[in-house]
């Protein structure tokens, strides 16, 4: 029976160096291979041209590189690019390139499917199959960086973890991926250009604060009224608003980093005065800003985009208390690429 080979990217640089020493080679060979795997984002041992054929064959016999492959790519009329990404085991996730005049943002996935049950989200209708490995998250960023350079003649500027999955339910792998994305031995991106979006897993928000992360935090809030929030995202019964408030205050106390609230306004669900007042009150707990998001409907059901008047009412109320609020228009509508509502339709 053939032994399943280990993904070489699961090894640290020290472990790679030890592997070469144990196999009668020099430790620096591990440094060379590590550079190929991360800085050069190589998907094949054959690419490693400063390593002998014998060494490449030894690597081939012992390891695999479980890289992603962009299966299909769609370009929207507004310039948004959606990648359907095939993983080594045949499963599919999605990532999106979102361009503006001044930046290109990668929206990446952290799980195949999702652990949660948000009623408005297409991904939540897919069963969570597994967590993504650090290399699979890293590869999505590399692919979008290449597309940004190809189509927009500039490198990727920002990353948001708002694709498939709840990043804080895949905490260790997401943190390892971010470590490599920000490392000079990886992509060398500033952590300040990375935002991790959570649906409000309070315990893990506190852990991030304790781990002294340098990236930004966004919370998919959608309502500051417990009953409404639980209806929109039933799993939040386990992460109620007082607990979330406590976690966010802890986050700010530790990091001094503002929180961004992602907030979709739906017709007949959270477009009333009580919902607006509750959000204003919640925003006073920690320094924050609010992204009011235009909804990209997934069917003709309960969740439908609210009126412009309702959005304006939110902006007026938040502005009155000097809370920064912006309206985020849905991108890539013609290719179904609304970040945070991703699901493979193929």
Active site residue 94: yes
In whole angstroms, give the CA distance from residue 91 to residue 3. 22
Q: Nearest CA to 168 among 227, 211, 138?
A: 211
Q: Which two tokens stand for residue 236?
A: 């939040």
Q: Which residues pair with 35 in a beta bridge?
A: none
> Annotated catalytic residue: which of 35, 77, 94, 184?
94
- Do 137 and 170 form a contact (C-beta atoms < 8 A)? no
Q: Nearest CA to 215 among 164, 168, 159?
A: 159
Backbone angles phi, psi at 273, to 5 degrees: -65, -40
Burial code (b: 16+ CB inside 10 Å, e: under 16) for 216-233 equals: bbbbbbbbbbeebbbbbb
**3-state SS class at 48:** coil
In whole angstroms, give the CA distance from residue 56 to residue 133. 23
Active site residue 339: yes
Catalytic residue positions, numbered: 94, 339
């Amino acid at each position: 029976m053939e032994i399943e080979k280990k993904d070489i990217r699961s090894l640290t640089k020290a472990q790679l160096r030890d592997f070469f020493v144990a196999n009668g080679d020099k430790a620096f060979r591990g440094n060379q291979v590590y550079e190929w795997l991360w800085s050069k984002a190589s998907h094949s041992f054959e690419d490693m041209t400063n390593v002998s054929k014998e060494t490449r064959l030894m690597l081939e016999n012992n390891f695999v590189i479980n890289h992603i492959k962009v299966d299909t790519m769609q370009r929207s009329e507004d310039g948004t690019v959606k990648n359907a990404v095939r993983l080594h085991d045949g499963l599919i996730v999605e990532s999106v390139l979102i361009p503006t005049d001044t930046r290109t943002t990668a929206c990446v996935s952290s799980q195949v499917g999702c652990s949660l049950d948000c009623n408005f989200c297409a991904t939540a209708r897919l069963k969570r199959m597994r967590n993504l490995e650090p290399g699979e998250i890293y590869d999505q960023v590399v692919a979008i960086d290449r597309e940004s350079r190809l189509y927009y003649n500039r490198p990727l500027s920002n990353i948001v973890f708002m694709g498939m999955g709840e990043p804080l339910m895949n905490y260790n792998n997401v943190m390892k991926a971010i470590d490599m994305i920000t490392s000079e031995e990886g992509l060398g991106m500033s952590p300040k250009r990375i935002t991790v979006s959570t649906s409000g897993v309070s315990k893990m928000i506190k852990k991030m604060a304790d781990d002294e992360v340098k990236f930004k935090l966004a919370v998919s809030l959608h309502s500051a009224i417990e009953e409404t929030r639980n209806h929109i995202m039933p799993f939040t019964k386990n992460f109620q608003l007082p607990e979330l408030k406590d976690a966010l205050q802890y986050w700010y106390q530790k990091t001094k980093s503002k929180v961004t609230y992602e907030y979709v306004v739906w017709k007949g669900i959270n477009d009333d005065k009580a919902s607006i007042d509750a959000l204003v009150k919640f925003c006073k707990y920690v320094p924050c800003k609010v992204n009011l998001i235009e909804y990209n409907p997934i069917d003709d059901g309960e969740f439908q985009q609210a009126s412009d008047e309702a959005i304006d009412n939110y902006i007026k109320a938040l502005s009155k208390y000097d809370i920064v609020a912006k309206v985020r228009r849905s991108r890539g509508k013609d290719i179904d690429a609304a970040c945070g509502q991703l699901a493979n339709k193929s």
